[in-house]
Amino acid sequence: MKRIVCFVLLIAMLLCGCGARPKSSDQASFSHWNADAPALNALIEYVRAVTDKASPDYIPPADRIATFDMDGTLIGELFPTYLEDVMLMHRIFDDPTYMPDEDMLAFGLVIRDHAVDRTFPAGFEYEFSSHLAKAFAEMTPEEYDDYVTVFLASPVDGFAGMTYAKGYYLPMAEVIAYLLQNDFKCYIVSGSDRFTIRSFIKGVFELPSENCIGSDAKLEAKDQGEAEDYDYQFTDKDTLVRTEQLLVKDVKTSKVQQIAREIGKQPVLSFGNSSGDVSMHNYALYHNRYRSAAFQLIADDDVRDYGHPEKGPELRRQWEDMGFHVISMRDDWKTIYGENVVRTGEIHWYEDYADDKISEKISGMADFLGAA
């Protein structure tokens, strides 16, 4: 009888998977997801397998690296355009302390005319980050953080009940929390400015600032002048400031290079939403000694957000053919920004930046600076 009891207990322990379970691995971690979402279940199955020491897919915690794009993957990019687009427009046309030159004004009009419908001219991405660097040159990192933080408190165009600081995807916040609970190291790898990312994540994602990888404007000592970095001695009288020189635009293969330089390990999980993330996904999937996976998000919800459901089927085929798991905002998520956030369908972008209003703002800024 004792042998029978021991045998039954042993079988029960094996069935329960004792001793090799992740800290949190079930649907209870994902209250903002629909339980039948294929991508969610693929993620849960993956995490269970790679955190189980008895599994052939086991990955040691030190090598559990997950990378996330930001815009359109963790935060909204459709209100009515990318976060940094809106912030740069604010800097150019609404900030009385900043007087843009003719080149900056002209670029502001390019953003105005092409951002909402994504008809950007060739080379826009790099030009954008170059102009962002120029617009905030001579600020210290702390001053830039303060500026971004104040801007993030602004209400979001096209929504009621949301500021830019709250414009993140609640289901994806759960993904990051779930991976952290299972001893993954999570990094944000984005085309946005590295310091914008650092400002945004505070109080949102439980990630340290060093886990933010993005486009970089050159920093230098404020009084460095023409001296080269390698030849200038930083002293107790110096402060770091941003410059208008763009060092890295962190998209496509640049993301792979940045990951290799700054993390030093190949990711096993990758999350993105656009062609700019495909290189990062492929870096995780190919020639990896561990089992790996990539997830691509589709903005196909036009009820709670400004997505394009008509593009969903073709995008799904495209991404699945590349070996990516597809996340549908419309089909897989119970909520995007929270039940108190409402898509109004009223975007004031073109009205706010109409030619006559821009002329008034530029004139007002010139008068303000002249009086100062």
230 belongs to a structural domain = no
281 belongs to a structural domain = yes
Domain count for the chain: 1
pLDDT score at 366: 62
pLDDT tens readout for residues 10-45: 444 444 444 334 344 467 899 999 999 999 999 999
Residue 304 domain boundaries:
24-51+58-221+238-345
pLDDT score at 365: 64
317 belongs to a structural domain = yes
* Sign of the Cα pseudo-torsion (323, 329, 333, 338, in order): positive
306, 78 in Cβ contact below 8 A? Answer: yes
191, 125 in Cβ contact below 8 A? Answer: yes
How many alpha carbons fall within 13 Å on the CB side of residue 12? 6
pLDDT score at 4: 47
186 belongs to a structural domain = yes
87 belongs to a structural domain = yes
337 belongs to a structural domain = yes
365 belongs to a structural domain = no
pLDDT score at 115: 93
Query: Which residues have C-beta within 8 Å of that of residue 112, sequence separation ≥ 6?
Result: 89, 349, 350, 353
Low-confidence ranges of the chain (pLDDT < 70): 1-26, 364-372
Check which CATH number belongs to the domain holding 276 and give it. 3.40.50.1000
Sheet holding 212-221, edge to edge: 240-248, 212-221, 185-193, 65-68, 269-272, 293-298, 325-328
The Cα 298–Cα 35 span in angstroms is 18
228 belongs to a structural domain = no
Identify which of 335, 251, 332, 258 has the alpha carbon closest to the alpha carbon of residue 295: 332
